[in-house]
């Protein structure tokens, strides 16, 4: 059977343990008795929103009213099924209806919000392709938070300046990512305080990549060789929990 990345619980290199640590850090910042408003841009199969809700409900906190935005209708169908299961498991609690919008983020004035939590994990391209996409994402999501709102982001960074041969071999461009300090500066410029950071280890990153390589073919064989030669030491990935200062 062919590999479908939508079968992965998470479509980014954070480990599930790291995801749950971030969610715990996030949930500790949020009101417990009030139903919270949460958006996930590029939510994929809705697993992050599902785990966030399940963790709140397990602590007897009020539910989260979630909105997942993603142009991939098949991923959203999986999300809807997953969240319907949560509602069934908590039938007595009359949970909020999860909302799924099959569309891209509308950078020019997406009217959503304000949010207690805005999430974007591995989906920065929703905010543009150029070198400014990172700051656009951080600024636009921060601007849609409630005064005590939080962000949960995860994205790539350069562990070291990328070798020219690595870029040539993968087709990546140097300005696609930046050192992790650039992310920190970006958070600061958007008036955000970093509450927690999780950096993915080189081993965990490789673990995430392996099922893609296993598909074989020229593209993935080349990607694997480039990862093993340069990428392991060059490309990092991290998750951040941030709150408004």
Ligand X SMILES: C[S@@+](CC[C@H](N)C(=O)[O-])C[C@H]1O[C@@H](n2cnc3c(N)ncnc32)[C@H](O)[C@@H]1O
* Residue 229: CB atoms within 10 Å: 14
Dihedral pair phi/psi, residue 240, rounded to 5°:
-135, 135
Smallest distance, ligand X to C-beta of residue 127, A: 8
Minimum Å gap between C-beta 157 and ligand X is: 16
Of the ranges 31-39, 41-49, 87-95, 144-152, which one interacts with ligand X (CB under 6 A)?
41-49
Give the one residue of 18, 25, 39, 42 binding ligand X; rule: CB under 6 A.
Answer: 42
Count of Cβ atoms closer than 10 Å to residue 142 Cβ: 21
Phi, psi of 118 (to 5 degrees): -120, 135
Q: Compute the distance between CA of residue 169 and CA of residue 219 in angstroms, rounded to an integer.
A: 10
71 scored as a contact of ligand X (CB under 6 A)? yes
Secondary structure (3-state) at 174? helix
Q: Does 123 bind ligand X (CB under 6 A)?
A: yes
Q: Does 101 bind ligand X (CB under 6 A)?
A: no
| CA 161/CA 236 separation, integer angstroms | 11
Give the phi and the psi of residue 25 in degrees, each rounded to 5.
-65, -40
- Kindly state whether residue 142 participates in binding ligand X, applying the rule CB under 6 A: no
Q: Is 75 in the site for ligand X (CB under 6 A)?
A: yes
Which of 22, 41, 150, 186 is in the footprint of ligand X by CB under 6 A? 41
Which residue of 23, 95, 126, 241 would you call a contact of ligand X, by CB under 6 A? 126
Applying CB under 6 A, the residues found at the interface with ligand X are 10-12, 41-44, 69-72, 75, 104-105, 121-123, 125-126
């Amino acid at each position: 059977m062919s590999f479908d990345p939508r079968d992965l619980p998470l479509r980014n290199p954070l480990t599930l343990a790291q995801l749950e640590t971030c969610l715990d850090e996030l949930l500790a910042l949020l009101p417990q008795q009030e139903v919270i408003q949460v958006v996930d841009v590029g939510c994929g199969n809705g697993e992050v929103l599902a785990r966030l809700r399940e963790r709140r409900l397990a602590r007897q906190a009020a539910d989260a009213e979630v909105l997942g935005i993603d142009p991939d209708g098949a991923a959203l169908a999986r999300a809807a099924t997953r969240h319907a299961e949560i509602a069934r498991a908590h039938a007595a609690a009359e949970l909020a209806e999860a909302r799924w919008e099959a569309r891209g983020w509308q950078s020019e004035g997406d009217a959503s919000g304000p949010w207690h939590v805005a999430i974007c994990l591995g989906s920065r391209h929703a905010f543009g392709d150029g070198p400014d996409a990172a700051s656009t994402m951080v600024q636009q999501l921060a601007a849609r938070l409630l005064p005590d709102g939080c962000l949960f982001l995860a994205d790539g960074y350069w562990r070291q300046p990328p070798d020219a041969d690595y870029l040539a071999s993968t087709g990546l461009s140097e300005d696609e990512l930046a050192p992790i300090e650039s992310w920190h500066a970006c958070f600061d410029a958007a008036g955000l305080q970093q509450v927690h950071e999780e950096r993915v280890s080189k081993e965990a990153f490789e673990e995430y990549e392996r099922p893609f390589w296993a598909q074989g073919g020229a593209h993935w064989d080349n990607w694997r060789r480039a990862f093993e030669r340069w990428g392991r030491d060059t490309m990092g990935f991290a998750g951040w929990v941030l709150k408004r200062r």
